[in-house]
Amino acid sequence: MATRHLLVLAGDGIGPEVTSAALRVLDNIVRRSGITVEVASGLIGGAAIDATGTPLPDETLAQVHKGSPVLLGAVGGPQWADGPRPEAGLLDLRRHMALWANLRPFEVFAGMQDQSPLKRPHGVKGLIIRELTGGAYFGEPRERGGEGDQGWALDTMIYHRYEIERIVRLGFHYAERMKAPLTSVDKANVLESSRLWRETVERVKRDFPMVPVVHRLVDAAAMDMVVHPEHFQVVVTENLFGDILSDLAGGLVGSLGLLGSSSVAGQPGTRGLFEPVHGSAPDIAGQGIANPVGALLSLASLMRWSWQDDASAGAVETAVKETLRSGVRTPDLGGSDSTASMTEAVIKQLNR
C-alpha cells in the first residue's frame, strides 16, 4: 500500500496538546490496519514567531508545498499581542493553499444532551460551509491612519462573484446530497457584498431545482440557530459570519472543543488543512485538560477527504462517539478526565 503523508502544525496553547492526542490515535490506527504514514511537523503561529520572527516561516511553506494534507492545532495567545500576529500565519497558510471552503459540522452527540444549553437537543445536527479566503479577512486595503481622536482603521469586505459562486455551488451539492434545504446567511439589508452574495445564490439555484433555499440575515439567523437549530442543516455563508456562527454551534453542542473542521479546495482526494474550530485556549493551556475531540474529528476528516480512507475515518469517529457516550468527559464537558485519559479511552474503543 502506498505511503500516506501528513504534516502536523501544532501551533500554540492547547494546539500541541490536542495534536499529540490525534497522533496517538493515528499511531493506533496505523498499527491495526498496516497502513504506512509518514508524519512531518513544522512551526506556525506564536511558536514560529518565537523561533524565527515570523508566523509562517519559509521552512514551513516549503513543507506545505510538498503537498501532504495538514493537521493543525491552534495558533495565538496573549503573549503575541504586539508585533507580528500568530493568526496571520494561519490566514496566510489558508491563502497559500487556496483553501476557499471550510466545512464545519456540528452535532449533539449521544450522551452530550445534558451538556447542550438547548431544551430539546436531541437530533441537532448541521453543517456550516464557510467561505475561507475572501471577505473582510483578506480584502485590501487594510489600513490605519490619522492621530488621536482622528485616528482611523479600515478593513475591506470584498467578494468577487466567482468566489461566491464556487462556495455556494458547494453548499448546493451538500444540501442536495443530504436532502436538506440550503440556508444562505448574509446581511443583504446593509452590505453590498451580501447583495452580490444573494444574487449569486439566486443564479446558482437554477442548477439545483430540487434544493429549497432560504435566505437569512445573519443577526436573525444567530437568534434562530439557538431557538430552532433544526433550520440550519446546511448553511452557506461568508468568511466572518461563518467564523461567528460556528462558535455559536460549539455552544449549542455543549463545547467548542467538540468541533472539527476541514479547509479544502475542490474535490475529495486532494490535500487540505484540517483544524479544530476552537483556538489555543490560553485559559487552560498547559494543564493537560483540553478536549481532544475537535482535533480527533479533524484527523478523521483528513483521513476521509485526503486519504479517501473511509474505514479509518469511520473508526475514529465511532470511537470518539462511543467514548463520549460512555461518560468520559474533560472539564469543558463537566467531567474530570484529562486530554490523555480521554485519548486513551478513544484508543480503547478503537481496540474493542
> Which residues are at the interface with ligand NAD (CB under 6 A)?
14, 18, 74-77, 87, 90, 256-257, 275, 278-284, 290-291, 294, 332
Rounded Cα distance, 78 and 164, in Å: 34
> Which residues in the 219-248 window bind ligand IPM by CB under 6 A?
243
Residue whose CB is less far from ligand IPM, 108 or 128: 128
> Which residues in the 227-246 window bind Mn ion by CB under 5 A?
243
Q: What are phi and psi of 109, to 5 degrees?
A: -75, 155
Out of 12, 159, 186, 187, the active site residue is 187
Annotation marks residue 219 as catalytic: yes
Annotation marks residue 243 as catalytic: yes
Residue whose CB is less far from Mn ion, 298 or 343: 298
User: What single-letter DSSP state applies at residue 124?
Assistant: -
Q: What are phi and psi of 237, to 5 degrees?
A: -160, 170
93 touches ligand IPM by CB under 6 A: no
Closest approach, Cβ 315 to ligand IPM, in A, equals 26
Closest approach, Cβ 173 to ligand NAD, in A, equals 25
Annotation marks residue 283 as catalytic: no
Annotation marks residue 247 as catalytic: yes
Annotation marks residue 58 as catalytic: no
Out of 92, 155, 224, 247, the active site residue is 247
Closest approach, Cβ 245 to ligand NAD, in A, equals 14
44 touches ligand IPM by CB under 6 A: no
131 touches Mn ion by CB under 5 A: no
Q: Contact 56/93 with Cβ under 8 angstroms?
A: yes
Residue whose CB is less far from ligand IPM, 279 or 292: 279
Give every CB contact of residue 9 below 8 A, 6+ residues apart in sequence.
Answer: 41, 42, 43, 44, 45, 60, 70, 71, 72, 73, 93
Rounded Cα distance, 199 and 13, in Å: 41
Q: Contact 213/169 with Cβ under 8 angstroms?
A: no
- What cell does 80 get? 503575541
Report the candidate in 170, 235, 179, 241 with the shortest Cα–Cα distance to residue 204. Answer: 170
Number of other residues whose CB lies within 10 A of the CB of residue 288:
13
Residue 130 contact among ligand IPM, ligand NAD, Mn ion, none, beta carbon within 5 to 8 Å by kind: none
Q: Which stretch binds ligand IPM (CB under 6 A): 49-57, 84-92, 141-149, 180-188?
A: 84-92
> Mind giving me the DSSP string for 46-94?
HHHHHHHSSSS-HHHHHHHTT---EEEEE---GGGSSSS-HHHHHHHHH
Q: Which residues bind Mn ion (CB under 5 A)?
A: 243
Q: Which residues bind ligand IPM (CB under 6 A)?
A: 76, 87, 90-91, 243, 277, 279
Would you name the residues annotated as active-site residues?
137, 187, 219, 243, 247
